[in-house]
């Protein structure tokens, strides 16, 4: 599959999200001429806009990003955060009900991934 330069950037950038020691590589990519509208659109299309926002926000002191891009990605991050908080609240209620009934529960999928992999309620 052939990816455009902007798609490659999103895919590499998101992959680097999980490697904190990779800030130098991120810096190299950000110093290139990038089409931010296409990057934003592709990140949204692929469902990784919240992760993209978190990464860009973390690096705002070092790099200048277009404000409209940051704001739209932030909106996706905050929406994901709100949805996940609602899911966690309902999950806590259900687990409590099961526990009170003597039933052990095992948490799988999104809640477990957020806690174990992403460590941020807004990125997934």
pLDDT score of 77: 93
Token code pair at residue 48: 């990784």
pLDDT single digits (tens) 20-54: 556 666 667 776 778 889 889 989 998 889 988 98
Within-domain flag for 124: no
pLDDT score of 117: 60
Taking the alpha carbons at both ends of the chain, their separation in whole angstroms is 25
Per-residue pLDDT of the chain (124 residues; tens, 9 = 90+): 667 777 777 777 666 555 555 666 666 777 677 888 988 998 999 888 998 898 888 877 777 888 999 999 999 999 998 988 888 888 889 889 999 999 998 777 766 666 666 666 666 6
Domain containing residue 24? 5-118
The tally of domains found in the chain comes to: 1
Within-domain flag for 123: no
| pTM score of the predicted model | 0.73
């Amino acid at each position: 599959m052939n990816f455009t330069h902007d798609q490659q950037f999103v895919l590499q950038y998101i992959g680097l999200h999980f490697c904190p020691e990779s800030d130098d590589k991120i810096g190299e990519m950000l110093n290139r001429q990038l089409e931010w509208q296409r990057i934003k659109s592709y990140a949204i299309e692929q469902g990784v806009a919240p992760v993209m926002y978190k990464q860009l926000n973390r690096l705002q002191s070092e790099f200048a990003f277009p404000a409209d891009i940051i704001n739209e990605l932030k909106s996706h991050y905050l929406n994901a955060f709100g949805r996940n908080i609602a899911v966690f609240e309902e999950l806590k209620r259900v687990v409590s009900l099961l526990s009170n009934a003597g039933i052990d529960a095992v948490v799988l999928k999104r809640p477990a991934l957020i806690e174990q992999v992403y460590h941020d309620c807004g990125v997934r």
